[in-house]
A and B are shown apart, each in its own frame.
Chain A
């Protein structure tokens, strides 16, 4: 019998451990270590000074969050935009299902490309496009309306609640195709035998969509929904920064923009950090709550 050669060997899956270890370290470095920066919310923070040189103010800035009327305005706007997003979060899924039903591959690809493309346009350009379309004086749309003798429209200057709907529309136009991709991938992963069996049973296209595609996509949808609930107070910055002007400021001052203005523009870093902390804690609570709710009702959860 041959004797097995003894010697030092690397543990099993060593490469995988190393690779995942690097990711783990990166997460610790860039996602957890910066949390130490939250401490500035408890000081009268001035960049360039050590904590020993700064005045400790306890929860002053946290209490200030609840005193400032502008915070409540920003919270309202954020919740409205998040609400609109959540209420229509099924759109990419439905769009993916409908797109999947198109028989012509060329046409399908054309639709997919044209709807995905806006995702890659920066918000600066998006605003420029909408300005070129809706400027009161010489916007393309308004020139047409004017030539038809119709009243002009300018959603960029809408001061009413319609501004929220307009922003939702712009965001959806930009992101729908991109958001749809994950559902298309999920559809591609559905076992084709299910469709074949359904066909043998006499199921039509709508029946297959309803009883096979939709239930299979529900898992993806609810997972994304739970995650998006966690981000409910982080509605993004770029879109609102670009579209905000004196006419729309009251409707578009969302929390992210508010934090930017307070922290960066006005150098009130401690206050902005306090707002950010509160936002994170609420987001985490919502995420955990939604996850528990899903676990209880549907029996599945993301963690």
Chain B
């Protein structure tokens, strides 16, 4: 065969395509065109072993791009919004946030050892990250480059050294985020009865003696105004089961009864007594299922509740069709703003409305925060020093305020100033905006990075800033204790008084607690690290529970519900739920003992 142009061209094309294929299959270098030769510390990351050389006179002279695995909330604009720009200008660092951070992808990257420079993961991952040699020790970096962390987070660092991984030798491998130094304003429980406050007000603010009395209140609301402005009948409840039946039925009642689910067992937040969620008829699982079957049989529930998606449910709340939500964030913020946009100036959701005897008001863990996630620097990172300087900012007062509230509203010094004593205070302009301008507030949240970066902050948004007498979330300031962001919240203060919404809404006899349950939950090994036989049992029980809860909430009568529940409990016992319970109780108690020691 002669080698002619006609033949040479396709051959060259094929060779080029082959090279492209090989290149595409090859591993990337993290995409940092400016990545320089690692400094000595980059080899180990441990300053105890080698001296850190942060750089020349100007440590930020070299621009670097750091890839970061972080489930920032709402990826839109996260690479270019003012917060990202602010971080870029301050550190000469471009953060390449992973905008589609899913657990599935992370597992694939972990298996391939192709991790980004900085990862934000559950702290329980420390075990495999350390064993697999994927992360570097942080002791030296923190000591030399993280003054805020060393100053304000010592207990947290000790907690990490002692517990992550469980058999740790005292090395610091990760940094937990959302730490509660001191509560600025306790969070309201996210699950409870969040109601259309205008209806609630019109009915005279009836206080409930029992969570189930919400059904009577719902009927009164529907009687008070049965249809909306479009002639569509209101629904009392429109929950969704897209996130599983357990999520839908149990959380509200766990909050009411002061129970915390750790390892698929309920624990009393004060006595730490365990409760078998599968077999105890008093567990929130069955109490919640009972509630929903009653509400369903009374015609109070959206008939599409079990087949609708989260988005559909949210849309119904946002279009003035639903009166009560058991998920706080659904009605509390966006649906209220939508109502305002529709012209309802004195309408909206808030809550949870007071229920006598409920024990749900509590705040997160003191050491690691409720989320249980934290930062790790991977061995792929070519700039561990720069990474640590950036991470330290996330834990500083300035950084936390920026990530939680956004740059425009915390940006020095348009909206806040420092006093001579080092305390921060808000300008009148800022107070005016957060008090009176909901529309601006929404824009602020969407545009300025707030809500996107809130999970990236080292300090919880309901905590005081580290080392400052000032809350992370500026609008929670003591200056503005009676934060009024929405009309319903303003009316809460009018009716119930109180220094903040939790104090206003906490029912008589209830109290706010903070204890080790959060820390225990965070430190507990995840199910996939349990004994394989127990994992198998968990799988069987969990799958059956989803089916039986669906059966239970669709029961046509109380008698039928009880029959389904009792039969299901018998099934669970026969399958070995007691063995599962015993295993988890021991595991949780061991974990608790470990973290308390």
Contact = CB atoms under 8 A, between A and B. Distances in A.
A262 B306 contact: no
A245 B547 CA distance: 10
A137 B107 contact: no
Given A9-B3, A246-B306, A247-B306, A47 B111 contact: yes
Interface in B258-310: 302-304, 306-308
A156 B304 CA distance: 9
A249 B546 contact: yes
Interface stretch (A18-26, A100-108, A287-295): A18-26
Contacts of B49: none
B132 A53 contact: yes
A137 B304 contact: yes
Contacts of B307: 131, 135, 154, 156-157, 245, 247-248
A262 B7 contact: no
Nearest to B526: A267
B527 A249 contact: no
Where chain B touches its partner, the secondary structure class is helix
A266 to B, nearest CB: 7
Interface stretch (A65-73, A204-212, A226-234): A65-73
Contacts of A57: 532
Nearest to B240: A245
Interface stretch (B355-363, B431-439, B478-486, B535-543): B535-543
Contacts of A10: 1, 3, 7
A174 interface: no
A268 B11 contact: no
Interface size class of A (residues with CB under 8 A): 35 or more
B27 interface: no
B168 interface: no
B340 interface: no
Contacts of B543: 70
A249 to B, nearest CB: 6
Contacts, number: 112
A10 B304 CA distance: 69
B250 to A, nearest CB: 14
A64 B536 contact: yes
A48 B128 contact: yes
Contacts of B527: 266-267
B550 A49 contact: no
Most buried by A among B21, B110, B532: B532
Contacts of A19: 10, 14
B202 interface: no
Interface string B18-32: 100100010000000
A224 interface: no
B131 A136 contact: no
Interface in B525-583: 526-529, 532, 535-536, 539-540, 543, 546-547, 549-550
Most buried by A among B232, B307, B550: B307
Contacts of B25: 29
Contact of A247 (B3, B104, B128, B550): B550
Contacts of A12: 1
Most buried by B among A50, A137, A138, A266: A137
A29 B550 CA distance: 45
A48 B110 contact: yes
B129 interface: yes
Contacts of B529: 46
B50 to A, nearest CB: 26
B532 A44 contact: yes
Nearest to A47: B111
B21 A136 contact: no
Interface string B97-126: 000000110011011010000000000000
Given A9-B1, A47-B128, A246 B550 contact: yes
A18 B14 contact: yes
A10 B241 CA distance: 65
B408 interface: no
Nearest to B115: A48
17 contacts: A9-B1, A10-B1, A18-B11, A18-B14, A22-B14, A46-B529, A47-B107, A47-B108, A48-B110, A64-B532, A68-B536, A68-B540, A135-B304, A245-B307, A247-B306, A248-B307, A262-B539
A10 B2 CA distance: 7
B245 A266 contact: no
Contacts of B308: 131, 135
